[in-house]
Structure 1
Amino acid sequence: MGRPKGGASSSSSSKKPKQKQKQRGGVDFKKYKHKVGRKLPPPKNATNTEIKSKSIVLPEQSMASERSGMAVNKRGLTLRELLQQTGHYNANVRRAALNGIKDIVVKHPTELKLHKVAIIEKLQERICDTDKVVRESLYSVLQSLIFPSLKEENAISTRSTLFLLMANIMNGMTHLSMDIQLMAFRFLELVVLNFPSSFPSYAEQTFNNFVAVLSNDRINLHDRNKLNSVLSGLGHCLSLVAKTIENDDTSNQQVRNLSARELWKSTTDGYNSGGRFAMPNLLAKLQNLVPILINSVEVSASELCAKSAVDAQSSEALLSALHCLDLICRIFVHEVKKPQLKFSISKTQFGPDWLRSSLLVHLRNLWGVKRLFHEKGDDKYFILNLKIAEIFLCLSACIDTTVFPAEEFCHFVSSLFTKAKTLRNKDLMEMYLSPLITCTPGLISNAPDDSKGYLLEAFTDAFRDCKVDCKLILPYLDAVGEMLLPEKTGIRFAEDGSKPAPAFLGYHDTWIHELPKILLLSIDKAPSITKVVLGLLLRIGQYFPTLDCGNLRPFIKLFGVESSSGTMDLGPFVNLPRDCQELAISCLYYFPSLLPGIISPLASCCISDMLEPLILFRIVEVLQSTYKAGNLQITEQLSFLSLLMARFKVHTGDLVPPEDSSKVSNWYTFKLLNHLILTSLSEMGDGSLVLELMWNNLNNAIAQKPPMHNMNGLFRIIVTLDAGTSKLMNEDVIKRIAGYLVDASLDLSKTIEFGFQPDKTRLFQYFIKPCIIMFDKNDKVLCRTLEMLKSFVIGDDHLFSSLSNLNHLGELSCRVCVVTTILIFLCNDRKLHRNLSCGKSVIKGILEYIWCQLGSNVPDVTYEEKQKLKSAFEQLKTKALQLNCWARSELEGLSSAT
């Protein structure tokens, strides 16, 4: 076989290399060209792990159903979720979380009670929050919701909760951010106001922080609003310290009586307890505050006076700084004056010498500030000067006259009193002038004699100009009381217990003269002042027994004033509260020279229905004690007692058994008054002499025919003093006795035919008792009275006039029954049997007259009247037989005739 041609062989040979090149590229390793960013396809051998399934929907597993019954806010978040969000990195989320917590607590108060501790533990982390709004929101939540609820918890749980809160507050006070620092001081103020007992443990650290922040020039010079915030908190902390050490005085008084071991234990363990301050260390901290505050006052005063108008924020900052200085000075003065314990370990270098050498040296700069303000005429500057004066008045006992001239200081205080009268803003005056008034007595006692005059003059003028409804009236009254009554403060303004020192003599009388005026005005305008003035008047009367009461004449108007028509108009005494009435009555004992003018209006008050029985009895007792002490004339006391007995208005009401006498309107009160008056008269000496002195008053009172109870009381006075007196034999007196018996028996005589009623019988026995005593002691009075009664029976009643209005013949049976009732009760008393036998002829005459009327055929005497006459005749005859007034045969003859 032949060889292929060249052409074919060449073509075939050229194709073979091309096929070999394709194989050489490799099929297994195919190269792909990818674009940037495109996702690589998965390998061909990759396992597909995708799982496809249908969704299962369960309605019960929705979020809404899970929160049903739970407390949520408007956004549907629970308290736990909101607390978690308070720590979110986004400030807006934290703000929203705090608002949501406030929303839940308001709508669901139980959430706060259940989770209070957890809420506080979470929220206290926000005290140092970098966002201002978050801090303000936290402050609002604590102030309005958390703290009011936390006060209701027990002390143990509150202490542990506040420990965490105070730790974060202390941390905030030293924060690098000034805003966080200032806000921490606001949180501290809030805690101190709500939980004062938690402050002593942190007092030293707190005042260190105050020193640090107030030393910052940025606060003092550039931002008064921030300075006010810090000073406000400092003021509350200092107030708490001042109040605490004042309250400790009572306990310290008890500590002084402890043994050495007990005293050592109290001084070592007591200072660091939860409610007390470690005073030595605390005083050192406060000492550091003094120059800082004074420097702040000087800078603020210079800026304020340089401005044309008063800057409110600067003025407020200056006033707050002065207030803090005042509190610090009071704390130091209190500690200096406090007696040191014998075994105390708390003795420090702080004493009177330190006050003069250290504190007063710093305060000297305030003297220049005072002069700066004194040149200004605005009320704001006057208030600032008042505060400066208050500081120096607190230190007046320790002030060195070489540093602060006493005369200049007295002039300064006097000018403040004078300026106060022209002050336009009365509210500011009432707020800031009170401490100046309170400290004035101490200043006057320490001032030189040549400086006291104008200071007393300025004080007295301001006192007289003060309105009774002004809030300053109480401080003025207290100051007057201190200067009049040195036993209250130990400051002696008097040479002895009876008269004031010469420098005070004129002002002493002026102050006393003003008190009754204030008293009368206060009853309507300021009732709370009334008791204060009465108490002061009482103490003045006790302290000055020989006081001339001429300046107290207006005091009489308290009880009553005589009108132009001659009647007595009641004063406001009857409407006063009981405690004020007691004080006014007690004053009567110490103002005897006023009693002659007081007796008549006082009696008008006593007979008034508006006066309580206890006060009525108290008046009688006090006047009787005054008489026994020799400060009331016997004639005045007798006149008062007789007037009281004659004019007291008795309202009997419905009669009830004696065991229930207290229910008979004011009859029981009158019986007690009756007993008190009779007891008082019995204590005055010989009864016949006393009766001689008051006979005219009694006779005039009886002649005016007072009501039955009053007449009974007047007769009881007579029989108590001298039942056998010959003055009863007077014809007019006999007529009044007989008329009194007739009036007393009117009601009872109407039941004579059917038997006497028990209640009316007891009342008649009560009325007739003083007459029985008279008749027992004086048979002539009995006989003359029987003759008067006989004249009344037969119709010859012109000899006396009674309170009854009986016709001459038309009521014959009534007259007979009245007299028969009287005679029956007289005969029932065994003590009168002997004396009644002397009047047997009179009784016989009455029986004969009745017998004649029964046997007559007078047409005006009806059958019913004859039956009454017959019943009366039989009863009187029976009593006459018992007395053997005449022969039994005569009586039997009269009986057979009838």
Structure 2
Amino acid sequence: MSWIRDLPSLLILLGDKNPLCSKTVLRLQLGLGQKAPVNSPISREIDNIQYGLLGFYCREVDKDICYGPFVRLRAEIKELAICCLRFFSFIDSLLLQSLVSCCLYDALEPYTLLRILEVLDCAFRDGQIQIAEYTSFHLTLLSRFQVYPEKDCPAVKYDGKSNRKTFNSVTSIVCKYLAQIGDDYLVFQMLEKIIVDQICGEISMDNKCAFLRLLVSLDSKPTRLSELSITKISHVLPQYLIDISLIFADDDQKATSAIIVKQRQYYMIPSFYMFHNSKQLANLVLDVMASWVSEVSSVFSTQLFHSSINRSTRVCAITSVLRHMYKDGKMRQILLSCNMQIQTVLQNLLTLLSSEKTNLTLEEKYKIQSAYDRLKVISGNDVT
């Protein structure tokens, strides 16, 4: 039976230049897995070959990711390799790390990525994967997945394509799987700190949105979040919402496209659900926004906003976020109970306009005055 141990080496040696031979080897491996008696010597040999398969899928060498032949083979051969995972009596954490690296490979087909997730979920439910390793796999995927094209990455690298839809699908599947792994309360207790730390960390807007969606899918009303988590999230949500408002801004010259509106809602709605679950969080976020309006005159010495954005744009982005909240039926009801914070924002806008210390230009004053008027109308507040 020692020849079984040589199958991974043979697959690596064949690479992607001999697909028919690779297909034959994988069929042999799959057939052995399907027919091997449980706890038999041959089943143990099959379990051990997973360590040799690291080089076939992906492995780390001197902190560099080295992708194996798997990512370059045809789809039907990849499917055979994925099916082989089902016949290990356990899946080691090293193999899971190898697979998550494959899932993060830019050129991997979306179908193959989703198929890996599906098979691993079946393996987890059959007891092949420990819960800690299963959750770690999915959290790693959400935190390290790179949505392109990014501003600092030439779009030509990806021929103008975007994988945002793929990541949205991955996020939905991860939320579904992790919400079903056990007792709701215990799962939330286990993952809360990890998810909140990711949300508060230095990750892209897409990844942050993914973790917000995951947190919402695991949370309940009223929220299960601890006081510490609520406080930490309240410090990062304002900037997150402002970034969304700036990226998916309304066009005052022409009607905003339905695509932009839909994209903006996608990124904002997880926050709205969190406000719905916790009025305290909504109050804290509004307090931060109000304070930022009053501090805008000294914003150049802070890191509250991107330095490339002028003062009026920053202030208008804050009011834009609030207007989008009012346009959502459930959020409007929440804002009605946070009227004091909204009045503070409006009052701070007036103070900003009337203060001589800010040295606003005429254009800035016009933009801020327009933002104030629009927020006053939609909120139904009259501050003088």
TM-score, structure 1 length as denominator?
0.38
1:865 alignment counterpart: 364
- Indicate conservation of the 8 Å contact 2:16/2:72, yes or no: no
Q: Which amino acid aligns with 2:24?
A: V
Equivalence map 1:157-176=2 (5 Å): none
- CA shift, 1:524, in A, is 5.4
Q: Secondary structure at the match of 2:59?
A: strand
Q: Secondary structure at the match of 2:92?
A: helix
- CA shift, 1:639, in A, is 1.2
**d(CA) in 2 for partners of 1:749 and 1:515?**
55
Match of 2:127 among 613, 630, 642: 630
**d(CA) in 1 for partners of 2:161 and 2:34?**
40
1:246 alignment counterpart: none
Q: Secondary structure at the match of 1:726?
A: coil
- Indicate conservation of the 8 Å contact 2:51/2:95, yes or no: no
Change (3 A) 1:611 1:781: same
1:781 alignment counterpart: 281
- Indicate conservation of the 8 Å contact 1:749/1:817, yes or no: no
1:531 partnered with 2:28: no
1:556 alignment counterpart: 54
2:306 alignment counterpart: 805
Change (3 A) 1:640 1:552: closer
1:519 partnered with 2:20: no
Match of 1:830 among 305, 329, 336: 329
Equivalence map 1:170-249=2 (5 Å): none
Q: Which amino acid aligns with 2:130?
A: Q
Match of 1:618 among 115, 119, 122: 115
Match of 2:191 among 670, 694, 700: 694
**d(CA) in 2 for partners of 1:767 and 1:780?**
21
Change (3 A) 1:626 1:877: same
1:878 alignment counterpart: 377
- Indicate conservation of the 8 Å contact 1:581/1:615, yes or no: yes
Q: Which amino acid aligns with 2:266?
A: Y
CA offsets 1:444-470 (integer angstroms, 9 cap, x no match): xxxxxxxxxxxxxxxxxxxxxxxxxxx
Structure 2, unpaired ranges of 5+: 151-159
**d(CA) in 2 for partners of 1:593 and 1:630?**
7
CA offsets 1:641-683 (integer angstroms, 9 cap, x no match): 1221222222369xxxxxxxxx973222222222222222232
- CA shift, 1:701, in A, is 2.9
Equivalence map 1:746-761=2 (5 Å): 746-749=246-249, 751=251, 758-761=258-261
Q: Which amino acid aligns with 1:854?
A: L
- Indicate conservation of the 8 Å contact 1:712/1:770, yes or no: yes
CA offsets 1:794-848 (integer angstroms, 9 cap, x no match): 22779x956x4147xx832112111101111112222133432342222111111
Q: Secondary structure at the match of 1:568?
A: strand
CA offsets 1:554-573 (integer angstroms, 9 cap, x no match): 11221111222x34322221
CA offsets 1:119-154 (integer angstroms, 9 cap, x no match): xxxxxxxxxxxxxxxxxxxxxxxxxxxxxxxxxxxx
**d(CA) in 2 for partners of 1:785 and 1:859?**
24
- Indicate conservation of the 8 Å contact 2:59/2:68, yes or no: yes
1:854 partnered with 2:353: yes
- Indicate conservation of the 8 Å contact 2:90/2:127, yes or no: no
Change (3 A) 1:570 1:764: same
Change (3 A) 1:725 1:624: same
**d(CA) in 2 for partners of 1:624 and 1:728?**
33
**d(CA) in 1 for partners of 2:128 and 2:114?**
19
1:841 alignment counterpart: 340
2:70 alignment counterpart: 573
Match of 2:164 among 660, 667, 670: 667
CA offsets 1:226-265 (integer angstroms, 9 cap, x no match): xxxxxxxxxxxxxxxxxxxxxxxxxxxxxxxxxxxxxxxx
- CA shift, 1:525, in A, is 6.4
1:704 partnered with 2:201: yes
CA offsets 1:405-433 (integer angstroms, 9 cap, x no match): xxxxxxxxxxxxxxxxxxxxxxxxxxxxx
- Indicate conservation of the 8 Å contact 1:729/1:781, yes or no: no
- CA shift, 1:684, in A, is 1.7
**d(CA) in 2 for partners of 1:755 and 1:845?**
30
- CA shift, 1:591, in A, is 1.7
What is the total number of aligned residue pairs between the two structures?
A: 364
- CA shift, 1:598, in A, is 1.1
Change (3 A) 1:735 1:687: same
- Indicate conservation of the 8 Å contact 1:562/1:569, yes or no: yes
Change (3 A) 1:593 1:686: closer
Greater relative CO (CA pairs within 8 A, separation 6+): 2
2:179 alignment counterpart: 682
Change (3 A) 1:787 1:749: farther
- CA shift, 1:858, in A, is 4.5
1:540 partnered with 2:32: yes
1:597 alignment counterpart: 94
Change (3 A) 1:524 1:823: closer
2:239 alignment counterpart: 739
**d(CA) in 1 for partners of 2:51 and 2:248?**
51
- Indicate conservation of the 8 Å contact 1:534/1:583, yes or no: yes
Q: Secondary structure at the match of 2:306?
A: coil
Q: Secondary structure at the match of 1:637?
A: helix
Equivalence map 1:234-313=2 (5 Å): none
Equivalence map 1:362-401=2 (5 Å): none
CA offsets 1:198-243 (integer angstroms, 9 cap, x no match): xxxxxxxxxxxxxxxxxxxxxxxxxxxxxxxxxxxxxxxxxxxxxx
Identical-pair percentage: 29
1:422 alignment counterpart: none
**d(CA) in 1 for partners of 2:86 and 2:127?**
11
Equivalence map 1:73-152=2 (5 Å): none
Q: Secondary structure at the match of 1:805?
A: coil
Change (3 A) 1:848 1:835: same
- The CA RMSD measured in Å over matched residues stands at 2.7
